Amino acid sequence: MRASIRARLLAAFLIVAITAAAGLSFYFLKELEGFALRKLEERLHTQARMLASVASTTYLNGAAEFSATDARKLQVTIADATPYAASRLRVLDADGVAIADSTPGDAGDLYGDRSEVRRALAGEYGAATRMTEEGRVALYVAVPILSNGDVRGVAYASSTTFSIMTLLRDYRLRMALVVALFAAFTLFMTELLSRWLSRPLQDLSVTAKAFAAGDHSVRAHPGGSSETRALAEAFNAMGDEVQRVVTELKEEERRKSRFVSDVSHELRTPLTAIRGGAETLLDGDVPEADARQFLETIIRESDRLTRLANDLLTLQRIEGATGELPLGRIDLRAAADRAIGALAPLTDARGVQVTAEGEAPTVLGDVDRIQQVIANLIDNASRMTGAGGHVRVLLSRDGDHAVLAVLDEGPGIPPEALPHLFERFYRAQISRDRSTGGAGLGLAIVKAIVTAHAGSIEAANRPEGGSAFTLRLPVIGD
């Protein structure tokens, strides 16, 4: 298992905190020790100098060596002073022999072999650190006692470093306590920090799991540091995108399945009619006139099936087309005239007069497809208009668009049907009657062709009655 953010942070912070605290403590204790030892040496030095001065001026008084009386008096002086001095004081003669000692009973000892004493006897300042007989570390300072420039003895001061060491041990303990407290505090802060850092990540991971399990609506709460915030926002953006794509796919799926059921529904009606007619004829015993009617039905329904197949194929070709349309310059007026001519047998049969008026600028496109658009619009318009009516195809220009409008005198379009007119298989209530309507693919084909030409088509009810279908196509520049 990989270490968590929490564990890593903790380890890093503890190492840094303890190293820093311990290092600093060690450094300061060392400094303190040096300082205290320097102070002790200064004190011993002062005391030794004073002792040397007193011994020289008061007792020696110009003599070459200390008399026995001097030694006794010195012994008393030293013994009196030491309880306040916290040091051991000695006076040595020119041979390094103690003639007075603040620790009573030790007079007569020889110190001439000690380095600091030898230095003092040579007229210099001497100092040394060494172990006492009791096993303690002590500092020794030796100063020459001079008389007329000659060394007559040594003032010798010493003190154990015991009190300093005790003090330092005490400090060391306190420092360790501080380091421990510091570590505990670091632990606490790290815990807080790691929670603050890892909580948004945990949230995000929970959200991501829910998302992966299929709930595409879950979103992360952006929180924590700017990085985790950015991560959550990126995740949410991805979520939005995935949700959108999934919604689109579902919508596409729904459209497809509706299309399939629409197609089979459209197929069923003519097929049932054909089968019914054929069965009746097979039975024989059908009067001549009826038989003819059944055959006509069969032919009509077969035509309907053929048209349905053709329309679906057309739609499929236009919408599935990846390449470009076969482009040519189109004179919309000429195309309208041809469409009117081609539909003349149908519109004449319906008793509807169809006329084209005006001119439109040249557009670029597939002339056969555009003619199909016009024909589909005229087919609908004439069917809705009814016998004796008039369908007008008006051509004009509107800015950089060529405009073709088909106006009829029919019942108009129910408002609730307006948004759906161009959908596949959509038929408004009014033409549910199968004898008048087709499959409801005409306007879907119109829409697909117009879209492929970067144009637009709009349906509206005219204030004076009837409907208007307005087609706009971009004019080509010269």
Sole window of 159-167, 247-255, 315-323, 373-381 interacting with ligand ATP (rule: CB under 6 A)? 373-381
d(CA 343, CA 380) in angstroms, rounded, equals: 11
Q: Where are the alpha helices (DSSP H) in 124-225?
A: 162-212
Distance CA 67, CA 129 (A): 31
- Tell me which of 126, 277, 442, 466 binds Mg ion, using CB under 5 A: 442
Q: With CB under 5 A as the contact rule, which of the stretches 45-53, 220-228, 250-258, 378-386 interacts with Mg ion?
A: 378-386
Among Mg ion, ligand ATP, none, the one that 384 touches (CB under a kind-dependent 5 to 8 A) is ligand ATP
Please, what is the minimum distance in Å from the beta carbon of residue 359 to ligand ATP? 23
Task: Write down the least CB distance from residue 397 to ligand ATP, Å.
Answer: 23
Closer residue to ligand ATP, CB minimum distance, 220 or 373: 373
Show contacts with ligand ATP in window 380-409 (CB under 6 A): 380-381, 384, 408
Among 52, 274, 439, 450, the residue binding ligand ATP under the rule CB under 6 A is: 439
User: ∠ CA(91), CA(97), CA(99), 5° rounding?
Assistant: 45
Q: Which stretch binds ligand ATP (CB under 6 A): 71-79, 183-191, 242-250, 376-384?
A: 376-384
Please spell the DSSP secondary structure of 334-398, one letter per residue: HHHHHHHHHHHHHHHHHT-EEEEEE----EEE-HHHHHHHHHHHHHHHHHHH-TT-EEEEEEEEE
Task: Tell me the closest approach of the beta carbon of residue 223 to ligand ATP, in angstroms.
Answer: 53
Of 352, 421, 450, 471, the one binding ligand ATP (CB under 6 A) is 421
Nearer to ligand ATP by Cβ, of 336 and 443: the residue is 443
User: Which among 123, 63, 112, 58 is positioned nearest to 90, based on CA atoms?
Assistant: 112
Which of 25, 158, 431, 470 binds ligand ATP (CB under 6 A)? It is 431
Question: Residue 380 interacts with Mg ion (CB under 5 A)?
Answer: yes
Instruction: Identify which of 430, 313, 453, 333 has the alpha carbon closest to the alpha carbon of residue 380.
Output: 430
Among 89, 428, 448, 471, binds ligand ATP (CB under 6 A): 428
Cα 25 from chain centroid? Answer: 42
From the list Mg ion, ligand ATP, none, partner contacted by residue 259 (C-beta under 5 to 8 A by kind): none
Chain residue at closest Cβ approach to ligand ATP: 438
Residue closest to 436 by CA, chosen among 353, 476, 380: 380
Q: Which is nearer to Mg ion, 224 or 442 (CB)?
A: 442
Beta bridge partners of 89: 157
User: Which residue is nearest to Mg ion, using beta carbons?
Assistant: 442
How many residues bind to ligand ATP according to rule CB under 6 A? 22
In this structure, are residues 386 and 350 in contact, taking their beta carbons and an 8 Å threshold?
yes
Relative orientation angle of helices 226-282 and 162-212, to the nearest 10 degrees: 10
Using N-to-C axis directions, what is the helix angle for 162-212 and 5-54, rounded to 10°? 170
Which residue, 120 or 336, has its beta carbon nearer to Mg ion? 336
Among 437, 452, 456, 476, binds ligand ATP (CB under 6 A): 437
Q: Which residue reads 């000690």 in tokens?
A: 114
Count of C-beta atoms within a 10 Å radius of residue 276: 14
CA dihedral in degrees (34, 40, 46, 51; nearest 10)? -140
Is position 153 an interface residue for ligand ATP (rule: CB under 6 A)?
Answer: no
Residues from 133 through 162 that contact Mg ion (CB under 5 A): none
Would you list the DSSP string of 101-138?
ESSTT-TT-B-TTSHHHHHHHTTS-EEEEEE-TTS-EE
Of 372, 462, 366, 361, residue with least CA distance to 403: 361
C-alpha–C-alpha distance, residues 252 and 366, integer Å: 28
**Based on CB atoms, which residue is closest to ligand ATP, 201 or 421?**
421
Amino acid at 48: A
* Partner in contact with 439, chosen from ligand ATP, Mg ion, none, beta carbon below 5 to 8 Å by kind: ligand ATP
Site string for ligand ATP, 448-477 (x = CB under 6 A): -------------------x----------
β-bridge partners, 475: 363
Rounded Cα distance between 445 and 471, Å, is: 13
**Is residue 270 a contact point for ligand ATP (CB under 6 A)?**
no
What does 175 bind: ligand ATP, Mg ion, none (CB cut-off 5 to 8 Å by kind)? none
Q: Which does 467 bind (CB under 5 to 8 A by kind): Mg ion, ligand ATP, none?
A: ligand ATP
What is d(CA 97, CA 107) in angstroms, rounded to the nearest whole number? 8
Q: Which residue among 364, 430, 452, 476 contacts ligand ATP (CB under 6 A)?
A: 430
The nearer residue to Mg ion, 102 or 376, going by C-beta atoms, is 376
What is the number of alpha carbons within 13 Å of residue 144 lying toward its C-beta? Answer: 16
Residue 436: its H or E element: none
Q: Which is nearer to ligand ATP, 165 or 430 (CB)?
A: 430
d(CA 446, CA 378): 12
Site for Mg ion in 454-473 (CB under 5 A): none
**Of 216-224, 243-251, 292-300, 432-440, which part binds ligand ATP (CB under 6 A)?**
432-440
- Contact set with ligand ATP (CB under 6 A): 376, 380-381, 384, 408, 410, 413, 421, 426-428, 430-431, 437-444, 467
Contact residues: Mg ion, CB under 5 A: 380, 442
